[in-house]
Amino acid sequence: MDQQNQVSVEFLQAFSDAWNRHDLDGLMEFMADDCIFQAAGGPELCGKTFAGRAAVREGFALAWQTFPDAQWLDGVHFVCGDRGVSEWTFTGTRADGTRIEARGVDIFTFRNGKIAVKNAFRKDRPPVSGAAR
């Protein structure tokens, strides 16, 4: 990867910060024009795939529609060339009061200093009660 296009740990932290601000426009600034988002859940082998900026934007927005208080906490990030990983603890409450708290990771592929692929994985933990971790 070209040095000027190198993605850093700070880049991934800023991307994570945008998720926690629920900043959809900010998130899309990190994404390549032909980006792909593979959601943690869905009917496909890779969850649910959103391809292209409009579809990825829609996929990202679904997180806050499903979990209006969604947060990705305790982030740890690393980058190695054109690949990277973010580890986090997801917390969120559905409209019916069901609360999820589980560890997860995003596996990234970078191209030209942007995220080309964001592939999300989250532990399949039953809903929790209260704020127990």
How are beta strands 47-51 and 83-93 bridged, if at all? unpaired
Mean pLDDT of the chain: 92
Question: What pLDDT does residue 3 have?
Answer: 47
Say yes or no to pLDDT of 25 above 70. Answer: yes
- Kindly report, residue by residue over 42-84, the tens digit of the pLDDT: 888 889 999 999 999 999 999 999 999 999 999 999 999 999 9
Torsion of CA 107, 111, 114, 119, to 10 degrees: -20
- As a whole number of angstroms, the distance between CA 47 and CA 39 comes to 5
- Kindly report, residue by residue over 116-130, the tens digit of the pLDDT: 999 999 998 888 875
Question: What pLDDT does residue 133 have?
Answer: 47
